[in-house]
Amino acid sequence: TLMAIPVIDFSKLDGEERGKTLAQIANGCEEWGFFQLINHGISEELLERVKNVASECYKVEREPNFKNSKPVKLLNELLESKSSSDDQKIETVDWEDVFLLTDDNDNDWPSKTHGFKEIMKEYRAEIKKLAIKVMDVMDENLGLPKGYINKAFNGGEDKNAAFFGTKVSHYPPCPHPEKVNGLRAHTDAGGVILLFQDDEVNGLQILKDGVWIDVQPLKNSIVINVGDQIEVLSNGKYKSVWHRVLAMPDGNRRSIASFYNPSLKATIEPAQELLVNGNIGKEVEGDSETKYPKIVFGDYMSVYAEQKFQPKEPRFQAAVKAM
């Protein structure tokens, strides 16, 4: 298609074009919910090592088991079933291989791939710094005090309480991509997501004005997207956007998604600074009322675990009831 998500040169924040770059990021957050950063400060040399070690890890430690996975079994059953119709599609699982890296589970990280742990730790440290820079830019664009979002995610304190995870996904080639999703459509639950996607194999799409459009692969860029908690905190000025991954007939798509989320104990609510009522006499652009309830993130995650692939709006109210 002609439409492509915005590509923004993050290094220009430090120069004469700072104002223009801030505006581009504001537009990416308000109108798209997704944008790509180039010149984001993470070295190409590190990114090359990350790609190599992740692909090696998949080949050695994951691929041998994919043939026994749930999606492969379900697809085979569907193909063999005489009663299934041609347009029947699997809607209960995704055609993907996934594992999660956090600081807390590093004893369980893949261990048979030489260099995996060291390289992924180095990458996570860099991408976490980028997450904080992106949140600082959002603060500035929203007119919030510097560090506001990060502080909210840390439960109001500056300590290291926010949840920082990295999901390593592979989407192997699929013999019947019309019968299963790579990853079913959803919005992301948390804060800021930083996605390092495959250089070549596409499949990731976002829903923009009712049309699915590709998130075009762009070598060594980092795709940023807004999660549900940023939508709440910004009182809907920034929107978490529906996205999905298509299964593809050729190529094994790699995608490494890091998410900077609130602590499970943190309470998230629309920033008072963005509400007209809380700013009497000041010139504030915004709505007079909160559009979202105050929610403990852990309660939201309990609801999300059940309703990830359903419309997001009812999740906010369901999470209030869970409190």
Asked whether position 188 contacts Ni ion by CB under 5 A, the answer is: yes
The residue within the footprint of ligand OGA, chosen from 141, 150, 166, 197 (CB under 6 A), is: 197
**C-beta of residue 67 within 8 angstroms of C-beta of residue 76:** no
Could you tell me the smallest distance in angstroms from the CB atom of residue 89 to ligand OGA? 19
Which does residue 255 touch among ligand OGA, Ni ion, none (CB within 5 to 8 A, set by kind)? ligand OGA
Nearer to ligand OGA, 190 or 270 (CB): 190
Could you tell me the smallest distance in angstroms from the CB atom of residue 189 to ligand OGA? 9
DSSP state of 94: B
Residue with tokens 């041609």: 86
Which does residue 245 touch among ligand OGA, Ni ion, none (CB within 5 to 8 A, set by kind)? ligand OGA
Measured between alpha carbons, how far is 184 from 182 in angstroms, rounded to an integer? 7
Measured between alpha carbons, how far is 102 from 252 in angstroms, rounded to an integer? 24
**C-beta of residue 29 within 8 angstroms of C-beta of residue 238:** yes
Measured between alpha carbons, how far is 189 from 234 in angstroms, rounded to an integer? 15
Please report, for residues 24, 49, 55, 107, 132, the alpha-carbon distance to residue 112 in angstroms, rounded to integers and kept in the order given: 42, 16, 13, 12, 32
Nearer to ligand OGA, 99 or 294 (CB): 99
Residue with tokens 């074009």: 17
**Residues within window 218-257 making contact with ligand OGA, judged by CB under 6 A:** 243, 245, 255, 257
Nearer to Ni ion, 97 or 188 (CB): 188
Residue 123: φ, ψ to 5°: -60, -45
Which does residue 179 touch among ligand OGA, Ni ion, none (CB within 5 to 8 A, set by kind)? none
Q: Which of 190, 52, 40, 189 is nearest to 127 (CA)?
A: 40
**Which range in 71-79, 128-136, 185-193, 213-221 contacts Ni ion by CB under 5 A?**
185-193
Nearer to ligand OGA, 109 or 171 (CB): 171
Kindly list the residues in this chain that would bind ligand OGA in the complex (CB under 6 A).
167, 169, 183, 188, 195, 197, 204, 243, 245, 255, 257
Kindly list the residues in this chain that would bind Ni ion in the complex (CB under 5 A).
188
